[in-house]
A and B are shown apart, each in its own frame.
Chain A
Amino acid sequence: MTDAKYRTIFDLANDAMFLHDARTGAILDVNRKMTELYGYSREEACQLAVAQLSADDAPHTQERALTLLSAAASGTPQLFEWLAKDRAGRLFWVEVSLKQVILDGEDRLLASVRDITERKHAERAIHASHESQKTLNALLRLALADLALDELLQRALALVLHGAWPRTRGVGGVLLVDDGGTLVLASQIGLDPLEASARSVGLAGDCGCGLDYYCTPIAAGDTQLGWLKVYVAESHRLDVYEEEFLGAFASTLAGIIVRKRAEQQLRTADEQLREQAALVRLGEMAAVVAHEVKNPLAAVRGAIQVIGGRLPPENRDAAVIRQVIARLDALDELMRDMLLFARPPKAQFMAVDIAALARETSELVSQDAGLHEVRFEVHGAAPAVNADPNLMKSVLFNLLLNAAHASQRAATVRTTITDMDRFCCIAVADAGPGIPPEIRERIFVPFFTTKARGTGLGLPTAKRLVEAHSGHIRVECPPGGGTVVTIELPRS
């Protein structure tokens, strides 16, 4: 075959062709298709090493290429995929068929190289679709499990970050918009909390995603619930399949979040209803008990008072009778406390100056025998609040008495009134030993008490009465010591 004929046939081939020296691997000739695919002229191509036409990134290196060439040179044809690089630096996938040929008596290798970019894309798409389906199925299974939202988010995040695909750094988080409209980190794996919050600030606009992490909106309809943030593996390129998958994942997650929140709301409403029903039953019971106890109490007290009244004052039994009456009165007071908790009177709302009420109540408590050395201070002021002065006085009386009992001798109980935007805030602080964390949750439970002689109804009653004002009450023990009970009463 003449050179011209060889040239014509060589250049007509649909695949890029390379003619290598079987011994050195050097490029001796290339066809026209090769120059079109790689962007080099024939003369330039013949000056290049295989590495310069490759990604030159393990396993697509010069060394690996020479191994394959020498395998072919020893008589075994080679067929493999290779990540190639053109003159402009673009990487593209090719399939290489490497065969030994004898040309003019010389040992040569003929490489026939086919561009398989399209096939690779299709393969990646199929792989991506298969993997996303697997992960989304796992997420849907997770949604059916009886998990709290926090736990569910954590496991959902693990599905994405620790799955076989996409290749992530195992680092990411779910940020959710809270009731106040603030974006908070609801779940995270491997995120530095500080970095997470710093980065999340700019999420809505310029968040820097697209560099080394995806941030995918979690939205239900028009409502933006939050963002899913996933860091990809080092040097991994973001691609459209992963983006699509994360979009589908985030949409599914949005549906689950909405459902979980609705379930939670229902559960809370249900619990509140049950609690209300229990309190109504308790109220009915307390009314019966009170009536059945107070009637005989009235009989005994009245009769014993008449009998005592007939004794001459110096009679020793007269003192005993006074004691009996005091015990009966204590019993009556217990009944009254129980009734106030179990069946509080309906609040009679009017404009109340809380600071004045706090001063008046402090005065009342300070007259209590045994509390003479405790100082009561009232600071701050707020505009009038819509409240029942009698019920609020009961609440403050309870809190001040508790604070005084917790205080050391000669300590100060400080009540601070603060005017908040929508609330009037009343904080009663003592310098006592504080409340151990293990019992802090139980102090609003009826009949729980740490006092030797206490009914355990003071704080539960305070809570009920504050809630009858649509307010909140909470107890905190600051690190500096003491206890602060804070009441928030709505302005109107």
Chain B
Amino acid sequence: MVEQQRDLTVPAARDLPDSGKKVASPRVLVVDDEPLVRWAIAQTLTDLDYEVGEAEDAASAKRTILEAEQPPDLALLDLRLPDSDGLGLAFFIRTHAPDTPIVLMTAFGTPEILEQAAAFGIPVLNKPFDMSELTALVDRTFTLRTL
């Protein structure tokens, strides 16, 4: 599914500091091994003028972040991925892209991991969720960030 990934450098290039009037679309990275979940989120956020990149596992998510010119403006991560379980990927992003806010998605997180996420100030979306919950949470995260 790597071919589904978008090149995150493209929107960044569009966002030239001297363009002045042009407001760049915020870029969101969605990491989930379920293509339907990625599709639904990508469709919803694209309709709201976000730029969405996708990754199907932790390895390709890390590569995307390391290879991008600029880190994503938001990372939406599934808690359980084929090659990563728990907060490993979240910690990687905290280290390599400390300014990128993270939102976790989980079908069933153990109370310990949810507590840990809360301790690090990472919001959690319980699967299945309504798309309005997702957009509300994403909007709130960006509002907080611009404040």
* Chain A contacts to B: CB under 8 angstroms: 287, 290-291, 294-303, 305-306, 309, 328-329, 332, 339, 345-346
Proximity string of chain B (31-74) to chain A, C-beta cutoff 8 Å, 1 when within and 0 when not: 00011110111011000000000000000000000000000000
Q: Which residues of B contact A329 (CB under 8 A)?
A: 128
- Known contacts A297-B127, A302-B36; 19 additional CB pairs below 8 A are A290-B107, A290-B108, A291-B107, A294-B128, A295-B34, A296-B34, A298-B107, A298-B127, A299-B40, A301-B128, A301-B129, A302-B39, A302-B40, A302-B44, A303-B36, A305-B130, A306-B39, A306-B40, A339-B108
* Interface pair B127/A305, CB less than 8 Å apart: no
* Interface pair A287/B34, CB less than 8 Å apart: no
* Interface pair B43/A298, CB less than 8 Å apart: no
* Interface pair B129/A291, CB less than 8 Å apart: no
A293 nearest in chain B by CB position: B107
A287 to B107 Cα, complex, angstroms: 10
A295 to B35 Cα, complex, angstroms: 11
* Interface pair B107/A295, CB less than 8 Å apart: yes
B112 nearest in chain A by CB position: A346
A299 to B43 Cα, complex, angstroms: 13
A301 to B37 Cα, complex, angstroms: 9
A298 to B30 Cα, complex, angstroms: 14
Within the complex, what minimum Cβ distance (angstroms) separates A351 from chain B?
22
Q: A306-B43, A339-B108 known; A300 and B131 CB under 8 Å?
A: no
A291 to B128 Cα, complex, angstroms: 10
* Interface pair A306/B128, CB less than 8 Å apart: no
* Interface pair A297/B128, CB less than 8 Å apart: yes
Tally of B interface residues using CB under 8 Å? 20
Task: Flag whether B80 is at the interface (Cβ < 8 A).
Answer: yes
Decide if the interface of chain A is mainly helix, strand, loop or mixed: helix
Q: Which residues of A contact B105 (CB under 8 A)?
A: 298
A287 to B85 Cα, complex, angstroms: 15
* Interface pair B108/A305, CB less than 8 Å apart: no
- Selected from A299, A309, A345, A346, the residue in CB contact (under 8 A) with B37 is A299
Task: Flag whether B82 is at the interface (Cβ < 8 A).
Answer: no
Q: Which residues of A contact B20 (CB under 8 A)?
A: none
A298 to B127 Cα, complex, angstroms: 5
16 A-B pairs within 8 Å (CB atoms) are namely A287-B108, A294-B107, A294-B108, A295-B107, A296-B34, A297-B107, A298-B127, A298-B128, A302-B37, A302-B44, A303-B36, A303-B40, A306-B40, A306-B43, A306-B44, A332-B128
Within the complex, what minimum Cβ distance (angstroms) separates B111 from chain A?
6
A332 to B41 Cα, complex, angstroms: 19
Within the complex, what minimum Cβ distance (angstroms) separates A347 from chain B?
12
Q: Which residues of A contact B110 (CB under 8 A)?
A: 287
